[in-house]
């Protein structure tokens, strides 16, 4: 079988091109070669997180791999058969556990048996979907497509220390069910959570005060969590909006030199933009839905916008799967993603 050739510098030129390219060969059996990996990033090539994703994908499908070294900008990947069962992967840094999970999940959710995967690294990282987003926003939609994933957070891992740990138990399906998600439905609940580890508790209280005032949340809708100091230093604040058809999770991370109030306002800006739109899902949930929707072969959802990240991802998906992905503007503040085989 001839290999699909990819250029990692096209479009957004980041790690998602590689992750999608790793995910789909496991499912389709199609080999690929990629050059210019992460060419548009400050540090091009494979970082630890990306290298772990490569090794994880290779392990899950018994692939032959050339170029899997730290800093490599080119890779050849020839998959074999998907291997369900128990897998354990350690990133060895604050690199995102959820992005590695994103890479191998498509294969394991279509395998011929259940799997359990343990991942060690970053669980709450500003450059990747944090654990609550995957658990509360993405996986419930995947369940509607037929895949049951039991996700557990055993230890938080913040940037730069890492040290987090999550486990996922995956009950696969033979074929994903299509999903249509054009409206979010009425707002059923809105809540906020601020987490600190090795950071003063007043930081979390100030974040929640700002959010409570802006969204008019009662005390029972606010949660302050103080973790053991050895799980830090770190601070994350999340706002969860539960609608009739979808749950969205928005997050912002504390940084040195940035006030608690500024962190709270960052997450509020995202929430308010989503609330003002007509879309069912936000930008990041749109990114997560693209691959399972394409694997289902048909379906549709509306999103607040189509990022360059999403547009690049669509082009990579179409190289591996017989699916047509259309992205069209829908009014002033929403776009439609449609998938058809």
Mind telling me the catalytic residues? 309
Alpha carbons within 13 A on the beta-carbon side of 138: 27
**What Cα–Cα distance (Å) separates residue 314 from each residue in 21, 194, 206?**
11, 34, 40
Q: Select from 214, 181, 205, 158 the least CA-distant residue to 282.
A: 181
* Tokens 């070669």, located at residue: 33
Q: What is the DSSP string of 88-137?
A: EEE-SSS-BHHHHHHHHHHHHTTSSS-EEEEEEEBSB-TTS--HHHIIII
The Cα 176–Cα 111 span in angstroms is 12
Strand ranges in the chain using DSSP code E only, listed in sequence order: 4-7, 32-35, 64-66, 75-78, 86-90, 115-121, 148-155, 164-171, 179-181, 187-197, 222-227, 234-243, 247-253, 298-303, 324-329, 335-340
On whether the CB atoms of residues 236 and 197 are closer than 8 A, the answer is no
């Amino acid at each position: 079988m001839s290999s699909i050739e990819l250029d990692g510098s096209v479009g957004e030129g980041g790690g998602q091109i590689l992750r999608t390219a790793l995910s789909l060969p496991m499912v389709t059996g199609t080999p690929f070669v990629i050059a210019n990996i992460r060419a548009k990033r400050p540090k091009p090539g494979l970082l630890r997180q990306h290298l772990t994703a490569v090794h994880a994908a290779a392990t899950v499908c018994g692939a032959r791999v050339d170029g899997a070294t730290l800093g490599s900008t080119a890779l050849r990947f020839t998959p074999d058969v998907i291997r369900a069962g128990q897998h354990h992967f350690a990133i060895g840094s604050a690199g995102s556990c959820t992005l590695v999970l994103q890479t191998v999940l498509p294969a394991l959710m279509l395998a011929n048996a259940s799997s359990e995967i343990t991942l060690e690294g970053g669980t709450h990282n500003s450059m990747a979907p944090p654990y609550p987003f995957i658990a509360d926003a993405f996986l419930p939609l995947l369940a509607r497509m037929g895949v049951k994933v039991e996700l557990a957070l055993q230890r938080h891992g913040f940037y730069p220390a890492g040290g987090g740990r999550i486990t996922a138990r995956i009950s696969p399906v033979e074929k994903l069910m299509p999903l249509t998600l054009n409206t979010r439905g009425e707002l059923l609940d809105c809540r906020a959570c601020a987490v600190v580890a090795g950071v003063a508790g007043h930081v979390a209280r100030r974040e929640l005060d700002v959010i409570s005032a802006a969204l008019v949340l009662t005390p029972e809708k606010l949660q302050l969590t103080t973790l053991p100091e050895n799980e830090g230093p770190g601070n994350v604040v999340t706002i969860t909006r539960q609608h009739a058809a979808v749950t969205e999770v928005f997050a912002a991370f504390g940084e040195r030199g940035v006030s608690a109030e500024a962190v709270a306002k960052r997450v509020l800006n995202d929430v308010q933009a989503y609330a003002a739109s007509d879309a069912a899902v936000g930008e990041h949930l749109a990114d997560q839905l693209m691959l399972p929707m394409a694997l289902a072969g048909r379906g549709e959802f509306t999103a607040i916008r189509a990022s360059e990240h999403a547009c690049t991802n669509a082009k990579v998906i179409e190289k591996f799967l017989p699916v047509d992905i259309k992205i069209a503007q829908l009014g002033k503040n929403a776009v439609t993603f449609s998938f058809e085989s």
